[in-house]
Amino acid sequence: MTDILKRESLLKSVVLLRILIGWHFLYEGVIKLFNPDWTSFGYLATAQGPFKSVFIALTNEATMGPVDTLNTLVLIFVGVTLILGIFEKWGAIAGMGLLALYYFAHPPFPWLEQQNVEGSYWFVNKNLIEIAALWILVQIPTGSYFGLNFLLKKESETIKTPQS
């Protein structure tokens, strides 16, 4: 009985984590989508660390539009999948990839002066923490417990089960 309660409590906690992270991604994506002046140019142009040249190469005129669009779409995709609990592993993996790009654009390494970032960090910043949280969501999918996957599964079981 205690194991069942612990499992139930863990699932509820992971669902809450999934929805909160989904909300964070979705909100960031929607804000960028409806702000015609938003661009990642400043963030990329001030990139630091071992991949600085890669991020700065993305700031040329030909690539900025697609980079901004792709960033916004991935944010929305991750948010929708995590909130709805459908394709949540793909959403979590895409979120991890996006956050890894953010992390390496401005890595919180002690030998680098932190530019164009909020807060002060030493190796671990909120992007890295959120990557770890998304890894938990990959390991413990909860869409079939609470989410659209649960409703779809229930619907298909209803269709398969003959009515008495």
Read off the pLDDT of residues 63-92 as tens digits, 9 standing for 90 and up: 999 999 999 999 999 999 999 999 999 999
Q: Where are the domains of the chain?
A: 1-159
Q: Counting beta carbons within 10 angstroms of the beta carbon of residue 146, is it exposed (0 to 12), middle (13 to 18) or buried (19 or more)?
A: middle
Higher per-residue confidence, 4 vs 146 = 146
For residue 96, the surrounding DSSP H or E stretch is helix 88-105
Q: What is the pLDDT of residues 87-110, one digit of tens each?
A: 999 999 999 999 999 999 999 999
* pLDDT of res. 153: 82
